[in-house]
Amino acid sequence: MSVFDRDPDDQVQILDADGELVGDPPDLSDAELVDLYRYMRLARHFDERAVNLQRQGRMGTYPPLAGQEAAQVGSAFALDDGDWIAPSYREHAAVHVHGLDLSDILLYWMGHGAGGWDTGAHVLPAAVPIATQIPHTTGLALASKLRNDAAVACAYFGDGATSEGDFHEGLNMAGVFDVPAVFVCNNNGWAISVPRARQTASPTLAGKAAAYGIDGVQVDGMDPLATYEVTRAAVEKARTPGDRPRPTLIEAVQYRFGAHTTADDPSVYRDEDEVAEWRKRDPIPRLERFLRETGRLDDDRIDDIETDVRTQVTAAIERAEDTPRPDPDRMFADVYADPSAELRAQRAYLNRLRDRHGDDAFLKE
């Protein structure tokens, strides 16, 4: 049975929480399966270091991704280099798998205008406003269809985005024009402090696809093999017109272990017992157990991966912190083609302050 013939509440799963096979494994080589694990370990370590950088005052507010590695890495693995990703603000792992350098991700959260995107990697800038990247994805996919090329556009967003008008407009247009798009909803249970149950009365988010005449699939978002397999099927369907609608809405059910951002305190609205229960489904040890039991990983290989991961992240931090910061005057350069009177006044005011106090004064705590 095709994954698209399942009911929205019939969740796709290949690995259970103990790393045991409960479904057919995807057609991935041993090396690809280990790479899947390597990227997940890299994402977790990068996340830990990024939170520490923010706590040390070396970076601005940062949105942690721990717990979501399987959904991000597994889905991005299913994309071709020529496909497009339109991320929200938490898809650090997905955009890195798709070619964005880790240092560019760090630069974005350090406030550097050059950070966070790379057209060569076919990654749009991170979208902090909720759901605004969804119509962009439909537009990218429509352009691909009109050009008759093979590119698929993939959007990432959280469960809270399904309450926004942009979600409905983007998916409605995708269905009407039957565009090659995949919409990955990272349902991590919370939209900041608002639980999933307060977002919608719909039994599932995947079920919303029916309103737009497209396919909807719910997958265990903490199972990297299932997420890969569902996304691969959705990408293949999007790329090759057939009897089914080309767009797909994937609801990847998962949990964010940490805060919404480093400016958030989840203990105010979330029970720690709930967090502990979800940690039992941690995607990294889950995949590791499967790879160990099938002879694809052992202690030595895991030690090598850990060393490599730490080296990569350290190098990325050094590159980001060594990148010259742009002149503050640049923040006014690309707002309007012809600067407004108010913008000119703001620029002049900043320059007077810089002349009077020097730039070092703005760096003091």
Residue 256 a catalytic site member = yes
Going from the C-alpha of 193 to that of each of 66, 230, 259, the distances in angstroms are 17, 29, 10
pLDDT of residue 112: 86
Q: For position 215, what pLDDT does the model report?
A: 98
Contact 203, 240 (CB under 8 A): no
C-alpha span between 114 and 102 (Å, rounded): 13
* Spatial CA neighbour of 137 closest among 151, 149, 150: 151
Mean pLDDT of 190-216: 95
Q: Which of 92, 98, 136, 260 is catalytic?
A: 260
The catalytically annotated residue of 6, 92, 98, 256 is 256
- The total number of residues shown for the chain amounts to 365
pLDDT in tens, 292-326: 999 999 999 999 999 999 999 999 999 999 998 88
- Decide if 269 is catalytic: yes
- For 62-78, the pLDDT digits (tens) are 999 999 999 999 999 99
Quickly state the pLDDT bin for 362 (edges 50, 70, 90): confident
pLDDT score, position 231: 98
pLDDT digits (tens, 9 = 90+) for 156-174: 999 999 999 999 999 999 9
pLDDT tops 60 at residue 41: yes
| Among 91, 67, 72, residue whose Cα is nearest residue 282 | 67
- 260 carries an active-site annotation: yes
Averaged pLDDT for residues 114-141: 91
Distance CA 89, CA 196 (A): 19
Separation CA 181–CA 162 (nearest Å): 16
Contact 205, 187 (CB under 8 A): yes
pTM of the model: 0.94
User: Could you tell me whether strands 84-86 and 153-158 are parallel, antiparallel, or unpaired per DSSP bridges?
Assistant: parallel
| Active-site choice (198, 269, 279, 325) | 269
Residue ranges of alpha helices (H) inside 91-132 are 92-97, 102-109
**Looking at residue 360, what is its pLDDT?**
85
**Which residue is it, tokens 């059910």?**
253
Predicted confidence band of residue 365 (pLDDT cuts 50, 70, 90): low
| CB-based contacts of 302-306 (< 8 A; 24+ apart in sequence) | 305/34, 305/37, 305/38, 305/41, 306/41
Give the helix/strand (H/E) hosting 86.
Answer: strand 84-86
Q: State the chain's mean pLDDT as an integer.
A: 95
Starting at the edge strand found earlier in the chain, the sheet holding 153-158 runs: 84-86, 153-158, 181-187, 248-253, 215-220
Band (pLDDT 50/70/90 cuts) for residue 364 is low
Looking at residue 210, what is its pLDDT? Answer: 97
